[in-house]
A = this chain, B = another copy of it.
């Protein structure tokens, strides 16, 4: 219907584009060609000539590439079709669209309360950091300098000192902590900020790895190592609970290997999630920074005995990457599947009527059901658009992963009942007919169903995870397990060099030494030496 497209992001994979559009067109998902396009580029965004693009009727019914056919294509297709995000004009950047942002807001709402309950205050640090700051902590600069975006011009003039756009804030935080912390009475200092950060990534993927992303970063300073360690563990625990209880993602919490530890930390704790393609996703981290930054920035305090000491610190973060984790954990061929507790829409009501005189009674009942659910604190949306058919809406909200759909037509009004469909149970099995409209009955029923769906998504993910983690006792076994795309778990006490060798030969890395360890004596599967712990190896995002 619209024929003039001017944007290079849509033009770049020119040959593939019309087919991709048609796929969407088939089920009329959206007339707007707002599909994610991996080839957006910085340059020339304005110089591309207008190109005509026809939108003929579709000859394919599938909205998105089937997950089993091509997991990566499925992922980007779902992001486009469910209107979660789009590519920005600068290579590697992402626009988070309202529906995707609403998932992020659900993550924020939960965590923000937990951070405050555990004694943290929000604040805000500037995003421009003097280049010299980054260089102060040796391993930090090594880790981050290849990924920096650098401001060299300000107000039309070349700057005397280049400014780094924050890739993370430890350095500027410590600069300020040094001003604020004088005495043990100023400790602990526990803060958090919600912010954007920039890392110049070469290989980007929406939500998972983008040039700019949103996150929260907690930063704390303590009088003792023990306190800092307790804090780092507390926050990885907050993340773990969030993942299990809200996002229905059965992450494995554990400690990173030395090789995989954050640039500047003594210890990094992580939560590792298994995606639908069995690759691992590092979904959140909490670092015990020891005194690395406090020594680099001279962040000291006078203790109770009048001794000057360096503070002990932590930092911890979860980012918009987590949204990608939710998509890749729960989604299926029909699109997104959202756990009810973080779903922006928990229930969608689709009114169904054919004859004009049916509309009035149906819409009246729809409004009443909507109010009932809203008052009960359920996030409900009515799609009463007359531009789309009920069938189109069914597909669209399945694509959006809305946990429950209510269908309401003239016959339902007569029976004072509704039809329910569960997103997580396909076809007729997921349908319930004749659920009473009586507010108390309907609300209880829907709340029960939402809890069931929440629990069911988690259980399904646990089953999937556990059936794809294999215990190994030799490097050969590890290679086989990894080549099957699964996670390998085995006793490990070998060297950093051995770890890098595994990475080179299998593309798998140590995801973590899980907190949950098997009992009994163990021997390292690589060296045969005694090992205290098992490690989990996997390919990862």
Contact with B along A1-28 (1 / 0, CB 8 A): 1101011011000000000000000000
Contact with B along A106-139 (1 / 0, CB 8 A): 0000000000000001111111111011001000
Contact A123 B150, beta carbon cutoff 8 Å: no
Contact B149 A123, beta carbon cutoff 8 Å: no
Report the minimal beta-carbon distance from A269 to chain B, rounded to whole angstroms: 25
Contact B125 A95, beta carbon cutoff 8 Å: yes
Contact with B along A134-164 (1 / 0, CB 8 A): 0010000000011111111111100111110
**Chain B residue with Cβ nearest A189:** B98
CA distance A211 to B154 in the complex (A): 10
**Chain B residue with Cβ nearest A298:** B6
Q: Chain B residues with Cβ under 8 A from A485's Cβ? A: none
Contact B88 A125, beta carbon cutoff 8 Å: yes
Known A-B contacts A101-B124, A182-B1; the reply to A89 vs B133 at CB < 8 A is: yes
Report the minimal beta-carbon distance from A335 to chain B, rounded to whole angstroms: 19
Q: Chain B residues with Cβ under 8 A from A101's Cβ? A: 121-124
Contact B152 A186, beta carbon cutoff 8 Å: no
Is the C-beta of A437 less than 8 angstroms from some C-beta in chain B? no
Contact B126 A98, beta carbon cutoff 8 Å: no
> Interface majority SS on A: helix, strand, loop or mixed?
mixed
Q: Chain B residues with Cβ under 8 A from A33's Cβ? A: 179, 182
Contact A102 B121, beta carbon cutoff 8 Å: yes
Q: Chain B residues with Cβ under 8 A from A94's Cβ? A: 126
Known A-B contacts A96-B124, A133-B45; the reply to A153 vs B154 at CB < 8 A is: no
Report the minimal beta-carbon distance from A140 to chain B, rounded to whole angstroms: 14
Contact B183 A126, beta carbon cutoff 8 Å: no
Is the C-beta of A34 less than 8 angstroms from some C-beta in chain B? yes
Q: Which of B34, B126, B128 contacts A179 (CB 8 A)?
A: B34
Give the interface centre of A100, A127, A172 by most chain B CB atoms within 10 Å: A127
CA distance A136 to B47 in the complex (A): 11
Q: Chain B residues with Cβ under 8 A from A100's Cβ? A: 123
Contact B180 A128, beta carbon cutoff 8 Å: no
Q: How many residues of A contact B (CB 8 A)?
A: 87
Report the minimal beta-carbon distance from A372 to chain B, rounded to whole angstroms: 20
Report the minimal beta-carbon distance from A228 to chain B, rounded to whole angstroms: 20
Contact with B along A193-208 (1 / 0, CB 8 A): 0011010111000000
Is the C-beta of A425 less than 8 angstroms from some C-beta in chain B? no
Is the C-beta of A455 less than 8 angstroms from some C-beta in chain B? no
Q: Give the 3 A-B residue pairs with the shortest CB-CB distance, closest first.
A: A155-B200, A98-B121, A2-B182
Query: Interface residues, chain A, CB within 8 Å of chain B?
Result: 1-2, 4, 6-7, 9-10, 31-34, 42-43, 45-46, 86, 88-90, 93-98, 100-102, 104-105, 121-130, 132-133, 136, 145-156, 159-163, 165, 172, 175-176, 178-183, 185-186, 191, 195-196, 198, 200-202, 211-212, 214, 298, 300, 302, 308, 387
Other than the given A45-B130, A88-B125, 18 more pairs (CB < 8 A) read A1-B183, A4-B308, A31-B182, A32-B180, A33-B182, A42-B130, A42-B159, A43-B130, A46-B130, A88-B172, A93-B126, A96-B124, A101-B122, A104-B124, A149-B154, A151-B151, A151-B152, A195-B196
